[in-house]
Amino acid sequence: MDRFVATYMMRLDAKGRVSIPASFRAVLARDGYQGLYCQPAPGRPALDAGGNALIAEIEALMNRFPPYSEQREELAAALYGRSETLKIDSEGRIVLTETLKAHAQLKDAVAFVGLGHKFQIWEPERFRTHLEEATEKVRALRRELGSKQGAGEPPGAAG
């Protein structure tokens, strides 16, 4: 498997260390990235983390804009300027910096949430709330798509 999947709850120790779930470490190892790329998630109280696949997605997004354009410069500042490269120790742990912990409002526990090409790190209760909201949005989308299919529209048609 070359994707981050599932959700894991882990403890954050007094030194700010947390163990990356073994399945996530395996994906990072196959990805070939030495360490962990980590940044505050734009618009969410969470951290985006990953390896080469995450960096490739950011580069693809940035490449949609001309070099030196205002949009590209803003993306670079927001996505790279606030990023950190964390080292993974021999026991599979990382040390989350105070800046990263403050953004995600992390205290003593974290939720590692697989999102395919990347994963996010959340404060567990905030993630539960986010997941409930996301699940309700998916249910609403299914109802909407189901009603459109019933009306003779193909799946995914926007009306």
Domain-by-domain residue ranges, the chain? 7-123
Instruction: Phi first, then psi: give them for residue 30, nearest 5 degrees.
Output: -65, -30
Mean pLDDT, rounded, of the chain: 92
Report the pLDDT averaged over residues 99-110. 96
pLDDT for residue 34: 83
pLDDT band at 159 (very low <50, low <70, confident <90, very high): very low
What pTM, to 2 d.p., does this model score?
0.87
Rounded Cα distance, 80 and 109, in Å: 26
Q: Confirm if 15 and 95 have CB atoms less than 8 A apart.
A: yes
Query: Which of the residue ranges 133-137, 145-149, 152-156 has the most confident prediction, judged by mean pLDDT?
Result: 133-137
Token pair recorded at residue 118: 């990347």
Residue pair 37/50 in contact (Cβ under 8 Å)? The answer is yes
Q: What is the pLDDT of residues 107-123, one digit of tens each?
A: 999 999 999 999 999 99
Tell me: pLDDT of 150 over 80.
no
pLDDT band at 40 (very low <50, low <70, confident <90, very high): very high
Residue 147 pLDDT > 90, yes or no? Answer: no
Q: What is the mean pLDDT of residues 14-42?
A: 94
Q: In whole angstroms, what is the distance from residue 96 CA to residue 38 CA?
A: 9
CATH (one of 3.40.1550.20, 2.60.40.420, 3.30.70.930, 3.40.50.2300) for 7-123 = 3.40.1550.20
